């Protein structure tokens, strides 16, 4: 494929490399500021890297390091999500969280953590003695001692949110190039010419939001890297919907130095998840599930909520967080034409909108914001708001476990950002994500998606 | 688009062998509506494009799709109304059932509801199998519907996990689509199903690997290989798919949000010998009751439970107190029916049981502490075991003494 042919015609004010949650939020913020934005993604669908597997929580940042960039981005991202979610059709499940101490040592740490929350502007944390804790969460296991409540930790839909951000960017003029890996870049008189596997992109400002590949992309484009990505794997076990009644709060552990630890919480889709693990690895591409680890997660889940013993597992997954040797995010404007947004590890979903605000300031562009920006809404796939199957004309249910309709599937396959892979379709519609994992609906989905995917689910037999 | 009635005498949920078998009988004396969520009625046999079906019901050897069509034809001829692409989303006392279809959300009131929603296989996730999540990991049900209903081939040389009857059905499905399985993997030291001698030529050529488990499935976009642990240690099998077969679970999600009592052991509803659920206006039949029986068995259960339902509609079904049925012996995994209150014209004439590991021993039925009957068993998981109901109503214990 020729590298000299323009993949997206014209000149862009900004090229965002990477369509994870951070890239999608950046595209939205710059498009709303009036920039002409190109988003370049190497996978065939968006959210294919770190953003495909997280714990789907909107954090307040109560436990972030005081004074850190992470804390300010999480706080700003949290505030903006609350402001915009309704307009974009995104769910917000006001579950609240409990930080639960399971040992004397952990109990001793709670006052410090609550003080940290206050310093981070989360002033409504509230200590619960054992009685109050058990009345808030009657299902907690015997080992739970005391807790404190963080009332404004919420659950969101981790895939519809970034999709909505990118959709709004597109509706306000941004363009997306998928299946295009940035192979090289050269500086031009007033910015960059990026070479991708699908042709060139000409942009004034390049923003590296390449997540797990961020350090390597810096090396490729600016010849150096200021950090090293050390992928941290997190494995999760997801329980079937009846398990969701076992806990109403997000149950957070007392964090240790490396990780927030194993969380138990409901999901926006009405399931209950247990995870993540925190396992450092070199591999940036493969997030491998390990039976013994999943069994250990189940066991830990059953200590936290003993009634989980009688619940069925629906799904297992593993994600990679783009951790670095540094604790804080690595967001740097190297010059007026190149900004790196790196090391956005486990809090990316909560912080993305805040990161985008921060990066827009760093960019110091002279832009004229559109007076009347477009506000698209995305289809709701959360269990906590009305679903498509409740409205007539849906064409019938295709995925019985998740009640995904034919109309929902067709919408995801058409429209301004059609999905190109089964993984993408799952994130947009929930198909095959339920308890039967495709037993009933795989064949029909193979037919409905014929001609839409880069790799068909199944070839025609003759 | 068919308009759904708002009320009927008997509402049957699920147009598989059990639901259609019952509906056909009931249509002689009542208005019967069957709601099916798939685009076509007939249930699982629709996509089992092989023998043997139909011996019990039609006295001839049929392939699954022909058998499914015959069941549907029989029901329609008897006056049953069948609607497809209708999903039940809620069961309530009344009985009242909420459904969604292209027409939106509506409710149907009935005098009696029969739940016959069948089974599904356990997924890779439920088995906590490690590795990555590439395309090409599917249950037998998905393979069969891809091959027989859609004329598609999801892979060329897959690995088959499991040795239940359905696993052999997977081999036959592969043969039909010219897919060549490269291995059949079984965690136990022996295959689970009795290998029907007639199938031997089909199975021949697929290496059977016993005492073997899948440690990891590898491949990012598509399955590329599986890593297995077996008697010869850890090794790698080059493959492009994994068929995850068997370990059936009742498709009982509707019970979870309902007022009906569920049995953790079977995963299905708690029923009495008449096939009644904990709400006597709800009945259940077929593989929803337990994993897993043949289509013919499920059909016969549907027919038998239809007789109970006919009696219930006439107000002549006894309302006796129900006694518990208790299992003694840790190798016993479940029993159906779970309640017992009356002898005589019951739908279930015997208790059905399964074991959770290979066992030999003596299995006895005790009513109110007195042994009534016993049999010797030499059984394995997934194999049918039945024992007679006691002659009088009493709390029942079924006891396994291993030898």
Please spell the DSSP secondary structure of B291-337, one letter per residue: S---HHHHHHHHHHHHHHHHHHHTT-S--PPPEEEEEESTTEEEEE-
Residues B255 and B235 grouped into a single domain: no
Residues 355-414 of chain A with CB under 8 A from chain B are: 389-397, 400-401, 403
**Sign of the CA dihedral running B51, B53, B58, B60:** positive
Residues B13 and B79 grouped into a single domain: yes
Structural domain count, chain B: 3
CA–CA separation, A116 vs A64, rounded Å? Answer: 8
Residues B109 and B22 grouped into a single domain: yes
Give the minimum alpha-carbon distance from B264 to chain A in angstroms, rounded to a whole number.
7
> Which chain A residue has the Cα nearest residue B125?
A315
> Which chain B residue has the Cα nearest residue A422?
B135
Give the minimum alpha-carbon distance from A239 to chain B in angstroms, rounded to a whole number.
9
Specify the CATH number of the domain A97-151+230-321.
3.30.9.10
Residues 369-388 of chain B with CB under 8 A from chain A are: none
For chain A, say whether B204 makes contact (Cβ under 8 Å): no
| Residue at which a domain ends, from B287, B317, B347 | B317
Give the minimum alpha-carbon distance from A432 to chain B in angstroms, rounded to a whole number.
11
| A193-247 tens-digit pLDDT | 999 999 999 999 999 999 999 999 999 999 999 999 999 999 999 999 999 999 9
A116 and A62 Cβ atoms separated by less than 8 Å: yes
Angle, alpha carbons A80-A82-A88 (nearest 5°): 90
ipTM of this complex? 0.95
> Which chain B residue has the Cα nearest residue A318?
B132
Tokens of B336: 């159906």
- Beta bridge mates, A194: A185, A201
Residues 92-151 of chain B with CB under 8 A from chain A are: 100-105, 120-121, 123-126, 128-133, 135, 138-139, 141-142, 145-147, 149-151
B346 and B389 Cβ atoms separated by less than 8 Å: yes
Considering chain B, what percentage of its residues have pLDDT values greater than 90?
Answer: 89
SS3 helix, strand, coil % of chain A, rounded to 5?
A: 30, 25, 45
* Mean pLDDT on B210-239: 96
| A404-447 tens-digit pLDDT | 999 999 999 998 899 999 999 999 999 999 999 899 999 999 99
- The torsion of the CA quartet A245, A246, A248, A251, rounded to 10 degrees, works out to -150
Per-residue pLDDT band at B287 (split at 50, 70, 90): very high
C-alpha distances in Å from residue B174, one per residue of A18, B153, B185, B208, B243: 40, 9, 16, 16, 10
Model confidence at A1: pLDDT above 50 = no
pLDDT on residue A3: 45
Mean pLDDT computed over every residue of chain A: 96
Phi, psi of B151 (to 5 degrees): 60, 40
- Beta bridge mates, B228: B214, B235
Phi, psi of B401 (to 5 degrees): -105, 115
Q: How many CB atoms lie within 10 A of CB A225?
A: 18
CA–CA separation, B378 vs B358, rounded Å? Answer: 8
> Which chain A residue has the Cα nearest residue B214?
A291
CA–CA separation, B169 vs B179, rounded Å? Answer: 13
| A290-316 tens-digit pLDDT | 999 999 999 999 999 999 999 999 999
**Worst-scoring range by mean pLDDT, A2-11, A358-367, B237-246, B369-378?**
A2-11
pLDDT on residue A258: 56
Of A241, A397, A458, Cβ closest to residue B100: A397
pLDDT on residue B382: 86
Model confidence at A6: pLDDT above 90 = no
* Mean pLDDT on A17-46: 98
Angle, alpha carbons B240-B242-B248 (nearest 5°): 165
* Boundaries of domain holding B371: 321-403
Give the minimum alpha-carbon distance from B359 to chain A in angstroms, rounded to a whole number.
25
Q: What is the CATH number of the domain that holds B365?
A: 2.60.40
CA–CA separation, A57 vs B56, rounded Å? Answer: 54
Residues B229 and B306 grouped into a single domain: no
Asked whether the beta carbons of residue A446 and residue B154 sit closer than 8 angstroms, the reply is yes
| Residue at which a domain ends, from B317, B345, B364 | B317
For chain A, say whether B54 makes contact (Cβ under 8 Å): no
Asked whether the beta carbons of residue A447 and residue B150 sit closer than 8 angstroms, the reply is yes
Residues B7 and B103 grouped into a single domain: yes
For chain A, say whether B7 makes contact (Cβ under 8 Å): no
CA–CA separation, A164 vs A307, rounded Å? Answer: 36
| A342-355 tens-digit pLDDT | 999 889 999 999 99
Of B100, B131, B149, Cβ closest to residue A443: B149
* Mean pLDDT on B338-364: 93
| A145-175 tens-digit pLDDT | 999 999 999 999 999 999 999 999 999 999 9
Angle, alpha carbons A349-A354-A357 (nearest 5°): 140
- The torsion of the CA quartet A81, A82, A85, A91, rounded to 10 degrees, works out to 110
* Mean pLDDT on B157-180: 94
Q: How many CB atoms lie within 10 A of CB B376?
A: 9
Residue partners of B243: CB distance under 8 A and separation at least 6: B138, B139, B140, B143, B158, B159, B160, B161, B167, B170, B174, B181
* Mean pLDDT on B319-325: 90
Give the residue, B317 or B202, on which the prediction is more confident: B317
Residues B10 and B113 grouped into a single domain: yes
Tokens of B44: 């699982």
Termini Cα distance of chain A = 31
What is the SS3 assignment for A327-370?
CCCEEEEEECCEEEEECCCCCHHHHHHHHHHHHHHHHCCCCCCC
Residues 431-460 of chain A with CB under 8 A from chain B are: 435-440, 442-444, 446-447, 455, 457-460
* Mean pLDDT on B248-262: 96
Residues 211-230 of chain B with CB under 8 A from chain A are: 215-216, 220-222
A217 and A195 Cβ atoms separated by less than 8 Å: no
| A63-76 tens-digit pLDDT | 999 999 999 999 99
Per-residue pLDDT band at A2 (split at 50, 70, 90): very low
pLDDT on residue B204: 75
Per-domain residue ranges of chain A: 97-151+230-321, 388-448
- Smallest Cα–Cα separation from A186: which of A2, A366, A332, A337? A337
Chain A neighbors of B145, CB-CB under 8 A: 442-444
Model confidence at B1: pLDDT above 70 = no
Give the minimum alpha-carbon distance from A50 to chain B in angstroms, rounded to a whole number.
14
| Residue at which a domain ends, from B297, B317, B337 | B317
Residues B234 and B308 grouped into a single domain: no
CA–CA separation, B133 vs B222, rounded Å? Answer: 8
C-alpha distances in Å from residue B6, one per residue of A286, B96, B106, B281: 52, 10, 8, 17
Of A288, A295, A396, Cβ closest to residue B102: A396
Asked whether the beta carbons of residue B100 and residue A395 sit closer than 8 angstroms, the reply is no
Residue partners of B48: CB distance under 8 A and separation at least 6: B63, B64, B65, B144, B148, B169
Place of tokens 């199903």: B193
Residues B218 and B163 grouped into a single domain: yes
Residues 287-316 of chain A with CB under 8 A from chain B are: 287-291, 294-295, 298, 310, 312-316
Q: What is the CATH number of the domain that holds B36?
A: 3.50.50.60
B82 and B40 Cβ atoms separated by less than 8 Å: no
Tokens of A258: 């490396």
Model confidence at B170: pLDDT above 60 = yes
Of A286, A401, A438, Cβ closest to residue B138: A438
- Smallest Cα–Cα separation from A306: which of A140, A144, A146? A140
Tokens of A225: 């890297």
B281 and B93 Cβ atoms separated by less than 8 Å: yes
For chain A, say whether B259 makes contact (Cβ under 8 Å): no
């Amino acid at each position: 494929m020729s590298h000299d042919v323009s993949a997206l015609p014209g000149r862009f004010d900004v090229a965002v490399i990477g369509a994870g949650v951070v890239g999608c939020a950046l595209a939205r913020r710059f498009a709303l500021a009036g920039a002409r934005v190109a988003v370049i993604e190497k996978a065939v669908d968006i959210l294919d890297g770190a953003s495909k597997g997280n714990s789907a929580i909107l954090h307040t940042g109560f436990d972030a390091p005081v004074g850190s960039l992470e804390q300010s981005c999480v706080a700003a991202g949290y505030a903006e999500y609350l402001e915009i979610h309704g307009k974009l059709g995104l769910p917000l499940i006001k579950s609240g969280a409990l930080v639960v101490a399971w040992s004397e040592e952990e109990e001793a740490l709670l006052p410090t953590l609550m003080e940290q929350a206050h310093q981070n502007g989360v002033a409504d944390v509230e200590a619960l003695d054992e009685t109050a804790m058990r009345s808030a969460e009657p299902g907690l296991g015997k080992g739970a001692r005391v807790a404190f409540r963080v009332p404004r930790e919420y659950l969101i839909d981790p895939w519809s949110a970034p999709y909505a951000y990118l959709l709004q960017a597109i509706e306000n003029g941004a363009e997306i190039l998928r299946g295009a890996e940035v192979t090289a870049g050269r500086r031009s008189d007033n910015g960059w010419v990026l070479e991708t596997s699908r042709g060139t992109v000409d942009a004034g400002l390049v923003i590296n939001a390449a997540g797990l590949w961020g350090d390597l992309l810096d090396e490729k484009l600016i010849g150096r890297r200021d950090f090293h990505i050390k992928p941290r794997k997190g494995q999760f076990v997801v329980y079937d919907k009846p398990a969701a009644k076992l806990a109403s709060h997000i149950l957070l552990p007392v964090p240790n130095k490396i990780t927030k630890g194993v969380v138990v919480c409901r999901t926006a889709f009405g399931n209950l998840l247990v995870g993540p693990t925190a396992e450092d690895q070199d591999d940036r591409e493969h997030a491998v599930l390990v039976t013994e680890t999943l069994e250990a997660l189940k066991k830990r889940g059953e200590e936290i909520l003993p009634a989980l013993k009688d619940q069925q597992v629906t799904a297992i997954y593993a994600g990679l967080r783009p951790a670095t040797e540094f604790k804080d995010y690595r967001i740097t404007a190297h010059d007026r034409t190149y900004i790196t947004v790196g090391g956005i590890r486990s809090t990316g979903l909560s912080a993305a909108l805040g990161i985008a605000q921060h990066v827009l300031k760093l960019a110091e562009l002279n832009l004229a914001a559109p007076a009347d920006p477009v506000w698209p809404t995305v289809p709701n796939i959360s269990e906590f708001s009305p679903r498509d199957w409740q409205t007539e004309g849906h064409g019938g249910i295709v995925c019985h476990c998740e009640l995904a309709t034919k109309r929902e599937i067709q919408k995801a396959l058409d429209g301004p950002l059609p999905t190109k892979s089964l993984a993408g379709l799952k994130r947009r519609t929930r198909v095959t994500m339920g308890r039967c994992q495709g037993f009933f609906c795989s064949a029909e989905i193979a037919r409905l998606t014929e001609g839409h995917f880069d790799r068909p689910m199944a070839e025609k037999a003759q | 688009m068919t308009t759904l009635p708002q009320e009927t005498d008997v509402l049957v949920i699920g147009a598989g062998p059990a639901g259609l078998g019952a509906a056909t009988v009931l249509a002689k004396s009542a208005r019967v509506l069957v709601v099916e969520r798939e685009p076509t009625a007939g249930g699982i046999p629709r996509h089992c494009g092989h023998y043997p079906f139909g011996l019990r019901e039609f006295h001839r050897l049929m392939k699954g799709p022909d058998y499914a069509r015959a069941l549907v034809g029989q029901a329609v001829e008897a006056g049953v109304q069948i609607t497809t692409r209708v999903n039940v989303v809620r069961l309530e006392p009344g009985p009242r059932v909420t459904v969604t279809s292209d027409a939106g959300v509506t409710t149907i009131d009935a005098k009696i509801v029969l739940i016959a929603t069948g089974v599904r296989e356990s997924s890779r996730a439920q088995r906590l199998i490690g590795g990555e999540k590439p395309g090409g990991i599917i249950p037998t049900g998905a393979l069969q519907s891809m091959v027989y209903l859609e004329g598609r081939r999801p892979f060329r040389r897959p690995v088959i996990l499991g040795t239940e009857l359905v696993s052999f059905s997977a081999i036959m499905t592969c043969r039909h689509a010219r897919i060549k399985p490269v291995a059949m993997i079984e965690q136990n030291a022996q295959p689970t199903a009795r290998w029907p001698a007639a199938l031997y030529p089909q199975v021949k050529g697929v290496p059977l690997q016993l005492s073997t488990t899948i440690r990891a499935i590898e491949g990012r976009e598509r399955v590329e290989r599986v890593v297995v642990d077996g008697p010869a240690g850890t090794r790698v099998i080059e493959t492009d798919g994994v068929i995850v077969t068997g370990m059936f679970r009742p498709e009982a999600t509707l019970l979870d949000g309902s007022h009906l009592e569920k049995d953790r052991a079977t995963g299905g509803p708690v029923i009495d010998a008449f096939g009644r659920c904990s709400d006597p206006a709800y009945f259940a039949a077929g593989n929803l009751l337990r994993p897993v029986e043949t289509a013919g068995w499920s059909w016969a259960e549907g027919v038998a439970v239809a007789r109970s339902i006919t009696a219930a509609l006439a107000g002549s079904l006894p309302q006796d107190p129900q006694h518990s049925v208790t299992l003694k012996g840790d190798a016993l995994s479940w029993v159906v029916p779970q309640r017992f209150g009356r002898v005589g014209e019951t739908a279930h004439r015997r208790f059905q049981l399964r074991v959770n590991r290979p066992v030999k021993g003596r299995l006895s039925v005790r009513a109110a502490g007195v042994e009534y009957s016993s049999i010797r068993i030499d059984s394995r998981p997934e194999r049918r075991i039945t024992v007679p109901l006691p002659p009088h109503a009493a709390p029942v214990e079924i006891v396994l003494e291993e030898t």
